[in-house]
Structure 1
Amino acid sequence: MSNPTPPDLTIKPRQPGFDLPQPWLRHWHGDNAFKSHFFDAMSLLFPDGERFFIDSVRHYRDRVTDPQQQEQIRGFIGQEAHHSREHQHYSDALRATGYDLDYLEHRLKRRLAFVRKHLPPKVHLASTVAVEHLTAIMADAILQNPDWLEGADPAMARLWRWHALEESEHKAVAFDLYQQVGTSPWLRRRAMIYSTLYFTLDTFKGLVHMLKRDGLLWNWQVWRDGLAWLWGSRGILRPLVRVYLDFYKRDFHPWQHDNLHIIEDYRRQFDLPLQAD
């Protein structure tokens, strides 16, 4: 396996203390409803999802004897806990604006409860590994391509770039633990198929609900421009297909997609002001 996790990689949680727009901007992404709600719909999955990821990793951490790997697991848990908290604030703002997040979150909560109750811990960890790959490749795209957040409210762009930075830093923590536990590539591939399906359906459901509440669900121009932004000739998701499919290779490792250079660029942006403070 090539490109393993850098042995000296430091993973530390940050607490930038985000101030969300007040009053809340429904269409904070360049006054574009589709772009704003695409990100909003993903965000509302994170509070419960991140807590599930933390629990799945904690279950196996006592099998790790390497101090550096333990430190990386500790950093992963801290980062994910902060993500869950910040995206809960994000969800609170969406709820206060009039979107029915109870309706949107119900299916995810019920699914996670079923997995926790009826499926073994190795499936929990495999699911975490799969979703961490999904978030990692999108995180890398956010960091590499300013177009993803061009025109967005500065506070919201900063929140998403902070999240993307930390997802990139810890993208292999759950994977390395999964490999150490000795679970099969077949299980992680199957987990990815299910995770991709549910992540797509849940995000689409949130997008549709918010557009409907805004009175834009049947606006053909919103959908035309939005789908072109996602999947058109210059769509943001098109370049991710190849790196997504790499996950299904038997010898895959997340650091085969080596983006340490861009991580270092964004570390300077987020860490130096904190040191100065």
Structure 2
Amino acid sequence: MASTTPKGLEIHPRQPKFGLPEPMPRHWHGGDAFKTHLFDAMSVLFPDGERFFIDSVRLFREQIDDPLLKEQIRGFIGQEAHHSREHAHYSERLRELGYDVDYLERGLKRRLAFIQKHLPAELQLAATCSVEHLTAIMADAVLRNPLWLQGADPTMARLWRWHALEETEHKAVAFDVYQSVCASPWLRRRAMLQSTVFFTIDTLKGLIHMLKRDGLLWNWRVWRDGLSWLWGKNGIYRELVKAYLDFYRGGFHPWQHDNLYLVEQYRREFDAPTKVA
């Protein structure tokens, strides 16, 4: 199978200089603990998760014949490697604030090690496709819906926009590799169900841990406002449900969610203008 990423969309890693705040504000998302720690909890998963995604695609790289898809695999690996590095720096800031990042990472590390040792390579790639879809639909929302980062520290908001842009650019690469070497809709659906459960558990674990360290775990207003932000009338998660369910369709492809205009819009923020001689 050839690449299905839109023609002309080059996938290349960027290395923007973020200079994360030192110390990082404890509640950098507009002073809101719930919003901040939802993002923090997801970030903790990325250093190990992104390395897993890279490894799962590399297992099949030599089976790909399409030159364009091979080039996009290189771009995918480069982008994910930089994401892993930047979120590792992010985790260091969280450690400095007193959060037990090692505790939060431990379960994920064990689970990924088990998967890589005992489960078929095709299932590992299907898991990558699944989580890439989760990150792609959230990335789309971050870039499109200002409510996701409204009021956030500008440096932290820029970090998340950068990550969202690159997740959007490469959202079909692992999927195209999977379609080339396996293409089983059943295995893909199974992997999505499992990935959704573990992603939810891991994120909730991080959120609870950080709120507990802040002394806010049992503050009902924090939970009321946070859950309303996620699932209320204009909740940021509510708008993701249809896009999430599309993954279970037999004929699904990531670029059926065509948001190329967002890529073009946000590239202006992160890609330096070309100098004319």
2:261 equivalent to 1:261 = yes
Letter in 2 for 1:266: Y
Letter in 1 for 2:229: W
Change (3 A) 1:98 1:274: farther
Residue 62 of structure 1 corresponds to 62
After TM superposition, the score normalised by the length of structure 1 is: 0.97
Letter in 2 for 1:43: S
Q: Kindly indicate whether the alpha-carbon contact (under 8 Å) linking 1:4 and 1:256 is maintained by their aligned counterparts in 2.
A: no
Residue 223 of structure 1 corresponds to 223
Residue 187 of structure 2 corresponds to 187
Residue 82 of structure 2 corresponds to 82
Residue 162 of structure 1 corresponds to 162
Residue 129 of structure 2 corresponds to 129
Change (3 A) 1:110 1:5: same
Letter in 2 for 1:133: H
Residue ranges of structure 2 left out of the alignment (5+ in a row): none
Residue 175 of structure 1 corresponds to 175
Q: Kindly indicate whether the alpha-carbon contact (under 8 Å) linking 1:8 and 1:68 is maintained by their aligned counterparts in 2.
A: no
> Sequence identity of aligned pairs in percent?
71
Change (3 A) 1:78 1:239: same
Q: Kindly indicate whether the alpha-carbon contact (under 8 Å) linking 1:57 and 1:125 is maintained by their aligned counterparts in 2.
A: yes
Cα deviation code 1:84-143 (max 9, x no counterpart): 000000001101110011111111011001001100111110000000000000000000
Letter in 2 for 1:89: H
- Alpha-carbon distance in structure 1 between the residues aligned to 2:205 and 2:194: 16
- Alpha-carbon distance in structure 1 between the residues aligned to 2:68 and 2:269: 25
Q: CA RMSD in A?
A: 1.4
- Cα shift at 1:63: 1.0
Determine helix, strand or coil for the equivalent of 1:80.
helix
Change (3 A) 1:194 1:219: same
Q: Kindly indicate whether the alpha-carbon contact (under 8 Å) linking 2:44 and 2:105 is maintained by their aligned counterparts in 1.
A: yes
Count of paired positions? 274
- Alpha-carbon distance in structure 2 between the residues aligned to 1:5 and 1:86: 25
Letter in 2 for 1:111: R
After TM superposition, the score normalised by the length of structure 2 is: 0.97
Residue 235 of structure 1 corresponds to 235
Moved over 4 A (4+): 273-276
- Alpha-carbon distance in structure 2 between the residues aligned to 1:239 and 1:84: 27
